Structure 1
Amino acid sequence: MAADWEIVQNLQNEITCGICRNYFSQPVTIDCGHSFCRECLSRSWSIRPFSCPECRQVPQIRQFPKINSNLEKLTDISLQLSPLNLQRAIERNQCPIHKKAFKVFCEEDQTSLCVLCFQMPEHRAHTLTPAEEAAQNYREKFREILSHLEKDFEEAKKYLSQEKEMEEGPDWNEMIMAEYCKLHSLLLDEEVQYLERLKEEQRTRKFRLSQHIGTIQEIMIEIQESSYNPNAELLKDIRELLGRGESVLSQRSNVIIPELREYSFPAMIDCLNKFRVDIRVDPKSSSSYVTVSEDQKTMRAEEGWQVDYSHAEDSTHHYVFADQAFSSGSHYWEVDVTQVSQWALGIYSPTLRKENSLFLLSCVKKENNYYFQTYPESLNHQVKDPVPRIGVYLDYSTGILLFYNVLQSSPIYRFYPLLFIKPVIPVFSPGPPLPGTKANLMTICSVNSHLCACCYSCL
C-alpha cells in the first residue's frame, strides 16, 4: 500500500508545475528537461526571458516551446485516477436519467447522449457523433481558437506599446485646440461678412422704400391735379396716367412686404441633428378637420375644413398635438411640407405671458405668392419658392423656439425669450386646404431622414 502511495506521489510530482505547484495546464518542456504550465512559463519569461525558472539554464534555441501533448495526456490520465475525481468522472459521464454511460454526441442540441437517449424520436433526424470523436474534434477547435487568441494577444500588446509611443510623440491636445481656434477664426470672419451683407440689404431696402414713397407722392399729386382739369384735358392723357397709377400699385407686394432673406449655415443643421427626437402625433387629437395616420407620423386635412377665401388671411388653423411633451433640454424635429400649400407648425404651452399659449410659424398662399407669418408676433414675409422641409428647434431652459429652412440651412424666425412654466407640446396643422385642390399629407420626418439640395432636385 505504501508502495502504491509512493507511486502516486511520484506521479503527482511528474505532473505538477514547478511554478504554480498545481497540476499542469497545457504543459511545455524546455531544453533543460523541466516542464511548466504554458501560461506560467510565459509570465516567467516576461520577467526573465529564456531562463529556466528552476535551474536558470538558458536554452540554445530561444523560441517558445510547443505544448507537450504526451505530458498533457499523462496529466489527464493521472487526474482521472484520483478516487474522488474518478467518482466525479463517472457521474459526469453518465446520463442523469438512465444512469448509462454517454456514447454519442448530438451536434444539433450540443449535448451528450446515452444508448437509450439517442433512440428517442427527437434525436433520430439529428447528426450523432461518437463521444470520443466529438471530443477530439472540439479539442482541435479549441487549439485553433487558442491559436487565434494568441495572435490577437500579441497584436494587442504591440498596439499598446505603439499607443504609449504616440503619447510621447505629437501634442494632440495642442493640435486639436489649434484646429478649433482656426475654426473659431473662420466662423468669426463669416459672421462679419453676414453682418455686412445684412447692413447693405437694410440700406437697399430703405432706399427702395424711400423711392416707392416718392413715386406714390408724385402720382398722387398728378392724379389730384388732373382731376380738376377740364373734361377734354383730363381725358387726353388718361390712359398713361391710369397705367402709371396701376404700375405703382402693382409694386406694393414687392416693396412693402419684404422677401424673406436666406442666410445659409450648412454646419448648423448638422449640429441640430444631435438633438433630433422621434416625434409622433397623438391620434386622440385628430378631428373632423384633421386626421392622423396609423404610424402617427402623417396628417391630412379633411373635407369638413371649409375656408372663406374672401378673407383667407383670417383662416382658422385646426391643430393636432404630439404624443410627447418636453419639460427640459434641447430638442429638434423636422417636418416635410412638400405636399401641402398652407400649413402651420409650432408649440403649445402656457407661459408667464398667460395670454399666449401657441407659438406658430405658418405658410399662407395668396394668388401665386407664398408668405411666412408668425403668431403671436408679426412676421409677414414673401418666400421666393415653397420650402419643402421645416426644422423646429426648442431649448426649454433658455426659452428659444427657432424655425429653419432645412433645404437652405437657413434660419426663418426665432421666438425668444419664452418663459415656460409647463411642459411644451409640438403642434401641427396641414392646412387650411386651398379650394379645388386635393388634400395632401404633412409628414414628421424620421430621426435618420436628411435633406440636401441634390436630393430635393431629384424629387
Structure 2
Amino acid sequence: MNSGISQDFQMEITCPICMNYFIDPVTIDCGHSFCRPCFYFNWQDIPILTQCFECMKTTWQRNLKTNIHLKQMAFLARKVSLWLFLSSEEQMCGTHRETKKMFCEVDKSLLCLLCSSSQEHQYHRHRPIEWAAEEHREKLLKKMQSLWEKACENQRNLNVETTRISHWKDYVNLRLEAMRAEYQKTAAFHHEEEKHNLAMLKKKGKDIFHQLHLSKAKMAHRREILRGMYEELKEMCHKPDVELLQGFGDILHRSESVLLHMPQPLNLELSAGPITGLRDKLIQF
C-alpha cells in the first residue's frame, strides 16, 4: 500500500480479487467492482451468468461497462505512487539533480526535462511518464480483450468437439445396424461384401473418432496458452508505471502470435461403400 494515500481511499480503488489498484474496473449488478480481467479470468466454461466474488449474488458476465470514475481514481493513485518513487534520492538525474519526469520511447529510459532536450535525445519521442504508462496499459487491455474473445470462440469450438465425441459412437453403431439391415434383404452370396463394408465403416468411424480427440486436445491446449498469455498481460498491467514501461518489451508481439492458428471444429463425414443390388431395388421401387 502507498503511504502517501489514506488506507480508506486505497481500499476504495483496490480490486478485491487481485488486491491491486483497479485496471479497467467494472461494476456489476450488485454494486461491487472488480478489474475486468480478474472478473473474466475463469475460463473453465465461460458462463453467461456468474456469481459475485464478494456477495455471491448471480450476475450477468457479458457487456459490462467500464466504471470511468473508479478508473480515474486508480490512475491518480498510481500517479501519486509514481511521484513518491521518482522523488527519492536514488532516482534523481545524476547530471542535473532534477526529477526524472519524461520517458524516452526510443531507448526506454527515464529522463529529466534537461536531458530530454539534449542533443542525444532531442529527436526522440518523449512522454510524461504517467501518460506513457497509461498508454501502454491501454494497449495491453485492448490485446487482452482480443485474447478474451478468442478464448470464448475456442471454448465454443471445444464444446462442439466434446459433444461430437460423446455422440460419435452411437452414430457409427446406428450406421452399422442400418447396413446390416440392408444386407439382410439381399442374397446370401453378398456375405463377403457385407463383411468388407462393415469392417471399412468401423475403421472409418475409429479414424474419425481419433481425429476428433486430437482436435479436442489441440483446443484444450490452446485454451491454456490463451489463459497463460492473458495472465501475463494482466500481471504486466498491474506493475508500477516505471516497471511497466521498462519491462514492456515484446509482450504485444508475443500475444499476437498466440492469436494466430486458432484450431477450428473438424468438418467430417462418414462415408460407406455401395451395397450390391440396392440401387436396382430402389429403381424397381
Normalised to the residue count of structure 1, the TM-score between the two structures is: 0.30
Higher strand share: 1
Q: Which has the higher helix share?
A: 2
- Higher relative contact order by CA 8 Å / sep ≥ 6: 1 or 2? 2
Q: Which has the larger radius of gyration?
A: 1
Q: TM-score, normalised by structure 2?
A: 0.45
